[in-house]
Amino acid sequence: MENSFAQIRPARAEDLNRIAEIEIFDYRMFFYPIFRSDAYYFGEKTVPKLLTFYANEPGIVEHTVVYDDGVVKGFVRVKDGEIEKLFVEPVLQDRGIGGVLLRYAADVLGGRRLWVLEKNPRAIRFYERHGFHLTERKKRVDDTNEYLLLMEL
């Protein structure tokens, strides 16, 4: 198991630009088709604005690990047992990077639960393949008619 985590390391401040790029591109690829908000996904959700948020949000770096095999290709953020973010560069998905990050989040960082968008069946299937299951809990995404579903390991 340890060897499978060889590319995982704690995030550093100098990784934040790359982390923000990955997060922005993932949001645009996978959430924009559901929410269809140009103002949010191309106005609010930008790398510079996300970097400003990161700078003002305590614990972002400390709760994040990256998959780095010479290039940061993905990251996971875990806080208080909850996997808050798990993103892999979209062009590098389906190569096992997300699975390694998820196993690390669960096995090493204690991530036992996460919220997933109800209209993202690809993500739900991914988490189910890695031992997570849907619970009965759900919550509305702010200012929308969409829901997040709670999954637990």
pLDDT in tens, the chain (153 residues): 446 899 999 999 999 999 999 999 999 988 888 888 888 888 888 999 999 999 888 889 999 999 999 999 999 999 999 999 999 999 998 899 999 999 999 999 999 999 999 999 999 999 999 999 999 999 998 888 889 999 999
The conformation of residue 94, written as its DSSP 8-state character, comes to S
Handedness of CA 114, 29, 23, 103 (dihedral sign): positive
Residue whose token pair is 């393949």: 129
Q: Measured between alpha carbons, how far is 85 from 151 in angstroms, rounded to an integer?
A: 13
CATH architecture of the domain with range 3-152: 3-Layer(aba) Sandwich (3.40)
pTM above 0.85, yes or no: yes
Q: Measured between alpha carbons, how far is 151 from 133 in angstroms, rounded to an integer?
A: 5
Q: Measured between alpha carbons, how far is 151 from 117 in angstroms, rounded to an integer?
A: 10
Q: Measured between alpha carbons, how far is 76 from 44 in angstroms, rounded to an integer?
A: 22
Where do the structural domains in the chain lie, given as residue ranges?
3-152
